[in-house]
Amino acid sequence: MSDHDILSDAEREALSAVMLEPDLPPQRVLIVDDDKDARELLSEILALDGIRCMTAASGETALKMLAEKPLIGLVITDLRMGNVDGLDLIRQVRESVRAAMPIIIVSGDADVKDAIAAMHLSVVDFLLKPIDTVKLLALVKHELGIEL
């Protein structure tokens, strides 16, 4: 170590080790829809681009998964579901420790009132079915910090 070095040899080695560590595990997308075919289709579309997904058939299941699985970095949800619909799910996420979670709504049955309510809940976007897959992929990659 010379007189002008700021770091000791041990600190330099530790810094090098940290810099060489593999990246953090990739974040996953949670797809929430009570329609099994819609969930699987979205999951397959994202998987083709190397985006890892998890799925939930209800808002209740999604809330449990969000509480238990810290690797979820984004939620894509339908609006019309059973007891906990998409807007209820978003409200509960916004009131939780995951309040900053980016959320995209995908719906085939929405009105202006729903869209306004969703925007007040700070969703990333509101996409109508049939989905523009290019736009969806761009949104997901942007929110997860994946290079476009």
Q: Provide the residue-wise pLDDT of the chain in tens; the chain has 148 residues.
A: 455 567 778 777 776 665 554 555 578 999 999 999 999 999 999 999 999 999 999 999 999 999 999 999 999 999 988 888 999 999 999 999 999 999 999 988 777 888 888 889 999 999 988 899 999 999 999 999 887 6
Q: Name the pTM for this structure.
A: 0.81
Q: Are 49 and 58 in contact (CB under 8 A)?
A: no
Would you say 79 and 86 are in contact if contact means Cβ atoms under 8 Å apart?
A: yes
pLDDT of residue 1: 46
Task: Looking at 1-148, list the stretches that DSSP marks H as alpha helix, in order from N- to C-terminal side.
Answer: 9-20, 36-47, 59-68, 86-94, 112-120, 133-144
Residue pair 75/104 in contact by the 8 Å Cβ criterion: yes
pLDDT at res. 102: 96
Helix H or strand E encompassing 72: strand 72-77
Query: Could you identify the residue written with the tokens 């040899």?
Result: 9
Q: What is the pLDDT of residue 35?
A: 93
Cα(22)–Cα(24) distance, integer angstroms: 6
Q: Hey, what are 103's tokens?
A: 């959320």
Whether the link from the prior residue into 25 is cis, omega within 30° of 0, is: no
